[in-house]
Amino acid sequence: MTDILMPFDEVLAAYDPALGLEVHVELNTASKMFCGCPAVFGGEPNAGVCPTCLGLPGAMPVVNGKAVESAIRIGLALNCDIAEWCRFARKNYFYPDMPKNFQTSQYDEPICFDGWMDVDIQNEAGETETFRVEIERAHMEEDTGKSLHVGGSTGRIHGADYSLVDYNRAGIPLIEIVTRPIVGAGEKAPEVAKAYVAQLRELIVALGVSEARMDQGNLRADVNLSLAPKGSGVLGTRTETKNVNSFRSVERAVRYEMQRHAAILSGGGSILQETRHWHEDTGITTSGREKSDAEDYRYFPEPDLVPVAPSREWVEELRGTLPENPTVRRSRLQAEWGFTDMEMRDTVGAGALGLVEETIAQGAAPQAARKWWLGELARRSNEDGVDLVDLPITPADVARIQALVDDKTVNDKLARQVFEGVLAGEGTPDEVVEKRGLAVVSDDGALGAAVDNAIAANPDVADKIRDGKVAAAGALIGAVMKEMRGQADAGRVRELILEKLT
Amino acid sequence: MSTVRDTAADLAAALAGGETTSVELTQLHLDRIAEVDERVHAFLHVDGEGALADAAESDARRARGEARGPLDGVPIAVKDVLTTRGLPTTCGSKILEGWVPPYDATVVARLREAGLPILGKTNMDEFAMGSSTEHSAYGPTRNPWDLDRIPGGSGGGSAAAVAAFEAPLAIGTDTGGSIRQPGAVTGTVGVKPTYGGVSRYGLVALANSLDQAGPVTRTVLDAAMLHDVIGGHDPRDSTSIDQAWPSFTEAARAGATGDLTGVKIGVITELAGEGWQPGVMARFDESVQTMVAAGAEVVEVSCPSFAHALAAYYLILPAEASSNLAKFDAMRYGLRVTPEGNPSAEEVMRATRDAGFGDEVKRRIILGTYALSSGYYDAYYGQAQKVRTLISRDFDAAFAQVDVLVSPTAPTTAFRLGEKLDDPMAMYLNDLATIPANLAGVPGISVPNGLADEDGLPVGLQVLAPALADDRVYRVGAAAEALLTRAWGGPLLDQATGLTSSATEGVTR
């Protein structure tokens, strides 16, 4: 069944959207939330498990102190208060990938609460505007196992021939960060949602508490959306779209749900409170399980754990370990590098800020670093469908290639071949230059011969240059480069031509 | 020559003196099990081979002069609610039939480290829910004093094993009296330690905030020696108390002089009166007089909130249990019942839980699920937690006046099998006197204090102390035991009729 959608402009004329974002961050602690098993998903299924994370009878949980530390640091970075005393709670429901049939989570006593994050978005004039997103809470919990539904066409449980469960992921620490309803964003709602998730990811990366790879599920966003009649100031019935796993999809999912809700509401229908699935390929959401307020998780404090009571001294000590706020950092770097707003925005938007920063730290000029990451490498990441950060090339490699350009070992055109070689796994930039024989010919003898050949072959052009029309040298340079198969420094060729003809 | 009637302390001395070997003792008890357990049904699994292998290792260690402690080589039975690596653990339930845990509970690991051969696993009410062991999915255990009567519960198997001389020592668990009440009705000793005093890791939880494992023995000294082995901090149990404990063995030895000079004892007003069997009250009053004669000062103390203890307990326990038992879903271990057709995972879970759990377990899952439900939580679970706080305050106020509190352990002697099976409330009332200690986390002991006149069945004296003061429980418990045994001229169990049935032989006292 295809949903009916209302054109976006019409949605905005009639309705105010309210957003809510729930982001799960998988921590990169060495061990799981409540046991000593490695917190690494993947590997041989059900190898990284023990009585506790398998929920065997009699086994008991013990809180991972490092996960508590990460939770507090995330909370502090989100300007939250940190609870002086809080407990874990059991969230009871049956599902085969949940070993105990309850998830050990936090309920009415989250470790972090009442925070905010300022999100930067662009207005119509292309200027940066700040939108404050209020954080209701950030709490600790454990991940579930992962189900694999085999057979059937959808990969979902319905219609599958059988299902397999891998409990390696069960018990990996998660921090769930929940916003208050975000109202007043209007047409910017999709953009605010995307920017919030992107900036949150940036913060998580800066904190170093998670790999924060959306494609790997380290960072998972659930998008809550409701519409209310314009100006009414009330909150409508919401839908919760699960596992929206890229920034762009967050934006698209919000936009889609706004249009879908509006079409239903304007037709006199009402929104069903439910979970919806996002389909990356088709860009639509479909109904998941119905989720009403009647769904009862029967929360109660986890009796096998003692309360978590972080001392104020510890909290302040952790506050001292926070990295520079990403927004502040961006302003500082922009000033240092002399980037325009547009250049900075593109750099951040491409997820290249850290990469560019590190490339510059390795010795490259700011514009050169930006040019490579947002040009050649952005193109490759698009083609290969991987994030920039996951390309098999390091900022140090990029800086080295730029150094090779700077010292005229290669020119820009050859540099692209060096990138190609490094990305193809042929070795370091220097090794690629060596193996592929890419170094420009700096031997004036060979170059001189090529220049002589070019002059001889193009007497008319040579005459023009002799007459002072220096601009005509381009044609001769081209001929020389062609003969040298590109392995020449165009600047030096020009010098030689002018030496001989003027 | 050692016999199965010897206490664990005697057996330990015989081993230390080279008069016997662990293999000999272990075989002696295995023979006794073979002889009587068909009638008593204290054991669900007997591991003769494993026990004898452990015994042989113990003997070899001792021969090298490397005995690990006083109880090295003394065999023991373990309630089937504690996980044992390589040995089935069913919790008395069909749903865990055939499950062999891949790990040892900390208590079990400590028994092994201390060199105690494990004879087997003892019967219990399913998931420790009950006061008679009749709720075991594998059939009831019988009281060695009268085979037509219940041995108490939920740890009737451990108590009966010790009372029938099938094991010198056993481990029980006590959530609302499951160690102490069986002790009382079988004429044996049972100790519920301070909450957090003995690790719960590997104890299949009934109600996590109430459960404690503890010793089941025939003497207070044996209980103390066993407590010294199994107690102490365990980093795998977050609720385990991280502190050094005094030697309970020394406390029990000190108490055995029978001198109670300067000890202030409180009699709890609320734990007596209507509904208490006259013979139980008569023995209790006598015991109090005996202690006064030995120098104790006795006062009455009131704990008004105890009136609500049972109600609070039957909200907290089912609530926690309903969540704990959710894991038994046929997905990973234990029973799996697959309905006809092409069932979903949910249908398999439902069919398995329907077939695998007994009525009492289902009753409590339903109660607990209800008590935790949205909209009812505050009225039930929340209120029950408040009552719990009030009960703790009652204890605090009482212990500000006295060193220990005493009461009868159970309101009645052992009732007949089947007598209360259809009346859950009557069954629940058995734990009236024992439940407050679990709600407050304080330690308690039940010591045999005679036979009720009307039925000739054993009665227990409960001694409670403040949290962490387990040594006081052993000191006063040992004193009471010494005074009473002196008066009887020997252990109370010497008066047992020897595994007979009142119904068939008409034995009454």
Give pLDDT tens digits for B391-434: 999 999 999 999 999 999 999 999 999 999 888 888 888 899 99
DSSP, residue by residue, A203-215 = HHHHHTS----TT
Q: Please report which confidence band the pLDDT of residue A410 belongs to, taking 50, 70 and 90 as the band edges.
A: confident
Note whether B239 contacts A304, CB cutoff 8 Å.
Answer: yes
Distances (CA, A) of A212 to A106, A207, A219, B273: 22, 11, 5, 66
- In whole angstroms, give the CA distance from residue B194 to residue B438: 9
Average pLDDT over residues A40-63: 94
User: Which tokens go with B493?
Assistant: 């169990």
Answer yes or no: are the C-beta atoms of B458 and B145 closer than 8 Å.
Answer: yes
- In whole angstroms, give the CA distance from residue A244 to residue A217: 10
Q: Report the residue of chain B nearest A300, measured CA to CA.
A: B372
Note whether A300 contacts B381, CB cutoff 8 Å.
Answer: yes
Does pLDDT of A426 surpass 70?
yes
Distances (CA, A) of A326 to A82, A120, A333: 21, 11, 10
Selecting from B237, B326, B372 the residue whose C-beta is nearest the C-beta of A101 gives B326
Does pLDDT of B509 surpass 90?
no
User: Which tokens go with A317?
Assistant: 């000590």
Cis check: omega of the bond before B154, within 30 degrees of 0:
yes
Give pLDDT tens digits for B80-122: 999 999 999 999 999 999 999 999 999 999 999 999 999 999 9
Give A133's DSSP letter: E
- In whole angstroms, give the CA distance from residue B259 to residue A119: 76
- Percentage of chain A beyond pLDDT 90 is 62
- Calculate the average pLDDT of chain A: 90
B154 among known catalytic residues: yes
Give pLDDT tens digits for A217-264: 899 999 999 999 998 988 899 999 998 988 999 999 999 999 999 999
CB atoms within 10 A of CB B493: 20
Average pLDDT over residues B429-445: 96
Phi, psi of A221, rounded to the nearest 5 degrees: -110, 135
Note whether B333 contacts A55, CB cutoff 8 Å.
Answer: no
**Helix, strand or coil, per DSSP, at residue A357:** helix
Selecting from A51, A94, A299 the residue whose C-beta is nearest the C-beta of B329 gives A94
Side chain identity at B421, as an amino acid letter? L
Q: Report the residue of chain B nearest A62, measured CA to CA.
A: B238
Catalytic residue among B131, B154, B199, B322: B154
Does pLDDT of A293 surpass 80?
no
Note whether B323 contacts A102, CB cutoff 8 Å.
Answer: yes
* Burial of B48 from C-beta contacts in 10 A (0-12 / 13-18 / 19+): middle
Note whether B326 contacts A92, CB cutoff 8 Å.
Answer: yes
User: Which tokens go with A362?
Assistant: 């390795």
A102 chain-B contacts, CB cut-off 8 A: 323, 326
**Helix, strand or coil, per DSSP, at residue B260:** coil
**A152-173 per-residue burial string, b: 16 or more CB within 10 A, e: under 16:** eeeeeeeebeebebbbbbbbbb
Note whether A62 contacts B238, CB cutoff 8 Å.
Answer: yes
Give A2's DSSP letter: P
Does pLDDT of B506 surpass 60?
no
**Tally of residues, chain A:** 502
Q: Where are the domains of chain A?
A: 8-298, 325-436, 444-501
Does pLDDT of A152 surpass 90?
no
- In whole angstroms, give the CA distance from residue B33 to residue B68: 26
- In whole angstroms, give the CA distance from residue B465 to residue A221: 53
Note whether A54 contacts B381, CB cutoff 8 Å.
Answer: no
What pLDDT is attached to residue A436?
85
Does pLDDT of A465 surpass 60?
yes
A305 near B CB under 8 A: yes
- In whole angstroms, give the CA distance from residue B438 to residue B195: 8
User: Which tokens go with A6?
Assistant: 């209302």
Q: Where are the domains of chain B?
A: 8-306+388-505
Q: Please report which confidence band the pLDDT of residue A149 belongs to, taking 50, 70 and 90 as the band edges.
A: confident
Strand ranges across the sheet with B458-464? B43-46, B118-122, B76-79, B169-174, B212-217, B189-192, B444-451, B458-464, B404-408, B264-268, B297-301
What pLDDT is attached to residue A500?
83
Catalytic residue among B93, B178, B199, B446: B178
- In whole angstroms, give the CA distance from residue A458 to residue A480: 11
What pLDDT is attached to residue B505?
45
What pLDDT is attached to residue A1?
60
Give pLDDT tens digits for A345-399: 889 888 898 899 999 999 999 999 999 999 999 999 888 888 888 889 999 999 9
User: Which tokens go with B120?
Assistant: 């087997």
A58 chain-B contacts, CB cut-off 8 A: 82-83, 89, 101, 103, 105, 201-205
Does pLDDT of B503 surpass 90?
no
In sequence order, which residues have a C-beta less than 8 Å from that of residue A335 and are 6 or more positions away? none
Selecting from B103, B239, B332 the residue whose C-beta is nearest the C-beta of A99 gives B332
User: Which tokens go with B271?
Assistant: 């734990």
Average pLDDT over residues B505-509: 40
Around A11, how many Cα atoms within 13 Å sit in the side-chain half-sphere? 26
Q: From A464, A467, A462, select the one nearest A496 (Cα to Cα).
A: A462
- Percentage of chain B beyond pLDDT 70 is 99
In sequence order, which residues have a C-beta less than 8 Å from that of residue B498 and are 6 or more positions away? none
What pLDDT is attached to residue A155?
61
Q: Please report which confidence band the pLDDT of residue B508 belongs to, taking 50, 70 and 90 as the band edges.
A: very low
Note whether B236 contacts A62, CB cutoff 8 Å.
Answer: yes
Selecting from B91, B237, B238 the residue whose C-beta is nearest the C-beta of A63 gives B238
- In whole angstroms, give the CA distance from residue A103 to residue A140: 11
Phi, psi of A9, rounded to the nearest 5 degrees: -60, -40
**Helix, strand or coil, per DSSP, at residue B106:** helix
What pLDDT is attached to residue A488?
80
Selecting from B204, B319, B374 the residue whose C-beta is nearest the C-beta of A57 gives B204
B386 among known catalytic residues: no
Give pLDDT tens digits for B297-314: 999 999 999 999 999 999
- Interface A–B counts its CB contacts (< 8 A) at 101
Q: How far off is chain B from A168, nearest CA to CA, in Å? A: 14
For A444-501, give the CATH class.
Answer: mainly alpha
Q: From B506, B234, B508, B260, select the one nearest B406 (Cα to Cα).
A: B260
Note whether B333 contacts A56, CB cutoff 8 Å.
Answer: yes
What pLDDT is attached to residue B72?
98
**Site of tokens 């044992």:** B84
Phi, psi of A267, rounded to the nearest 5 degrees: -85, 10
A55 chain-B contacts, CB cut-off 8 A: 327, 332
CATH (one of 3.90.1300.10, 3.40.50.720, 3.40.50.300, 2.40.50.140) for B8-306+388-505: 3.90.1300.10
Cis check: omega of the bond before B247, within 30 degrees of 0:
no
What pLDDT is attached to residue B135?
97
Q: Report the residue of chain B nearest A46, measured CA to CA.
A: B332
- Calculate the average pLDDT of chain B: 96
Give B218's DSSP letter: S
pTM of the predicted structure, to 2 decimals? 0.87
Average pLDDT over residues A449-469: 86
Around A230, how many Cα atoms within 13 Å sit in the side-chain half-sphere? 11
